[in-house]
Each structure stands twice: as C-alpha cells, then as structure tokens.
Amino acid sequence: PSSASPHRGAFIVLEGVDRCGKTTQVGLLLKHLVVQLGMAAVAMRFPDRTTLVGNLINQYLQSKSELDDRAIHLLFSANRWEVAPTLKSNLLEGKQHVVCDRYAYSGVAFSSAKESLQNDLEWCKSCDVGLPAPDAVIFLDLTQEQAEQRGGYGEERYEKKELQQRVRERFSQLQATDTQNGQVPWYVVNAAQSIEEVQKEISTIVEQTIEKVILEEKPLGLLWL
Ligand code: Z5A
C-alpha cells in the first residue's frame, strides 16, 4: 500500500451467510492491518447489540420478543443509522480504516428472504439509502452444505436451512444490482478454503482497496444513491 497519508479511512464490509467465517476473518484482518502493516483501523459489526436498539434486536433474535417483519427490519436499519455518525467520524476525522462484520446487505437479504417481504426488496433497501457506502464488499461464499458441515445451526431465530438458502439468493441479487450500478465493488471469496487461504485473499483485496482510496482520493460514497 501507498505510504502517502490517507485523506480518510477505507470502509470494508464483510458479508456472507451464517457460519461463513466473517467474525474470524474480521479479527484476522484487523490484526493484519494494525500489527503487520502499522495502519490505523477499527472493527465494527452489525447488529451492534450494545445499543438500546441493539438490545431490542438481540431479544428478537433470541426469540424473547415478537415483532412485525417490517418493524424488526426498521430496527436493524435504525441500528446502522444510530452508529453511522461514529462510523463516519472513524473514517473521516480519525482517518481509520473500518472493517465491518455485516451491513445493510444483510439487512436486505434477511428481511426480503421472509415470505411477507419477498416482493418488497426495494422497500427493504430504501431504509438504508444514504448510509456511508462501503469501498468494497467482500462476500465470503459458502454453500448450504459446507455451512452445515461447520456444526448444526444454533439457537437463533434465522438459523434455519430454508431461510438461509433464500438469503444466499438475495445476496446474489444485491451483488448483481451493485455491479450493474458500478458504485460498490463486490469481491467473492471462496470461504470453504482454509482460514489462512481466505485471510490471504481478503488481505490482498483490502490492501488494493486502501491504495485506491488513497491514490484516487476517493470521496466517501452514499449507499444506493
Ligand atoms: N441480520 C439481519 O437480519 N438484519 C441485519 O440488518 C443484520 C443482521 C445486520 C445475527 O447476526 C443475525 O442477524 C444474522 C443475520 C441477521 N442471522 N443469521 N443467521 P450476527 O452477525 O450477530 O451473528 P451470525 O451472523 O450468526 O454470526 P455467524 O454468521 O454465525 O458467524 P460468522 O461470523 O460468519 O462465522 P465465524 O463465527 O467466524 O465462524 C463460524 C464457525 O466456523 C466457527 O466455529 C469457526 O471457527 C469456523 N470457521 C471459520 N472459518 C473457517 C474455515 N475457513 N474453515 C473451517 N471452519 C471455519
């Protein structure tokens, strides 16, 4: 990567289905950027269960409360909007790279995989329009069968085979429209490789993205605008 001082941090999002290894890879990537490359970087994740809204989401995911499908969708989106000022300030004032575990793509993919919202993809997207846009989405690709081999699904509400299959299809749809619009580049990484191999691929993509953001002095974009 360039040794030039960054005008802002790069915003990297890791997405993928359940069990694809996002959390593992966010940790390794952060270590790589900070310890090995000496860069300023922070990790963020959605849902951020530490906030008031995040607490409501946590109760819903653990089936301790019931909510209308649109209401929970709005809460997931609100959770991003309430953290957006911190995200922006990390990138713009702090000039820190942000590595984020899930983002609005998960929001749309999971909600629109539900029967009640399956024809409302655009409504699902509309709630997150205008959030900071990632400089790269890294999609950790794992088939249903491979995900299942990593241990059965857990206790949380969405950890069910049929739903996860539809979520996977929704992610492909979102990738196709982002690619068509040319705003946010997607990189698909085969998540069935070893942890080290996945990490190597991710590091290369991220280093190239950071270089581009610095050299081209890319302004921070607005999602889906
Ligand atoms: N959700 C939503 O509906 N709307 C929204 O707007 C958002 C989210 C943001 C909770 O998310 C739920 O919220 C989620 C989507 C929905 N529902 N589901 N399903 P979360 O992010 O809090 O929790 P999670 O997504 O369920 O975490 P995860 O996906 O289960 O884990 P992961 O981060 O992808 O994977 P991991 O923890 O790094 O690894 C999983 C296991 O595999 C673990 O044992 C690892 O050691 C192992 N692993 C990792 N990499 C490898 C490789 N390469 N080989 C072999 N084994 C590996």
Give tens-digit pLDDT for 120-179. 999 999 999 999 999 999 999 999 889 888 876 777 899 888 999 999 999 999 999 999
Residue-level pLDDT at 154: 74
To the nearest whole percent, how much of the chain has pLDDT over 90? 88
The Cα–Cα gap between 46 and 159 comes to 16
Q: Are 110 and 167 in contact (CB under 8 A)?
A: yes
Q: Which two tokens stand for residue 206?
A: 């991220």
Q: Which two tokens stand for residue 16?
A: 């993928």
Nearest ligand 1 atom to alpha carbon 49 = 22
Interface predicted TM-score (ipTM) of this complex, two decimals: 0.97
The Cα–Cα gap between 220 and 222 comes to 7
Residue type, 172: S
Structural domains of the chain, ranges and CATH numbers in brackets:
11-215 (3.40.50.300)
Is the beta carbon of 195 within 6 A of some atom in ligand 1? yes
Residue closest by Cα to atom 31 of ligand 1:
19
The Cα–Cα gap between 136 and 207 comes to 11
The Cα–Cα gap between 131 and 126 comes to 10
Tell me, in angstroms, the distance from the centre of ligand 1 to residue 142's CA: 11
- Give the pLDDT mean for 90-102: 98
Q: Are 185 and 213 in contact (CB under 8 A)?
A: no
Please calculate the CA angle 211-172-79 and round it to the nearest 5 degrees.
Answer: 70
Residue closest by Cα to atom 3 of ligand 1:
110
Please check the confidence at residue 33 and state whether its pLDDT lies above 90.
yes
Question: Rg (Cα) of the chain, in Å, rounded?
Answer: 17
Residue-level pLDDT at 46: 98
The band of 3, judged by pLDDT with boundaries at 50, 70 and 90, is: low
Is the beta carbon of 60 within 6 A of some atom in ligand 1? no
The band of 4, judged by pLDDT with boundaries at 50, 70 and 90, is: low
Q: Are 16 and 191 in contact (CB under 8 A)?
A: yes
Residue type, 170: R
Residue-level pLDDT at 152: 65
Nearest ligand 1 atom to alpha carbon 159 = 19
The Cα–Cα gap between 217 and 105 comes to 25
- Give the pLDDT mean for 1-25: 88
The Cα–Cα gap between 147 and 149 comes to 5
pLDDT tens digits for 103-119? 999 999 999 999 999 99
Residue with the two structure tokens 């702090």: 94
Given the DSSP bridges, would you call strands 41-45 and 186-190 parallel, antiparallel or unpaired? unpaired
List the one residue out of 103, 167, 91, 96 whose CA is nearest residue 138: 103
Nearest ligand 1 atom to alpha carbon 25 = 38
Residue-level pLDDT at 155: 76
Please check the confidence at residue 36 and state whether its pLDDT lies above 90.
yes
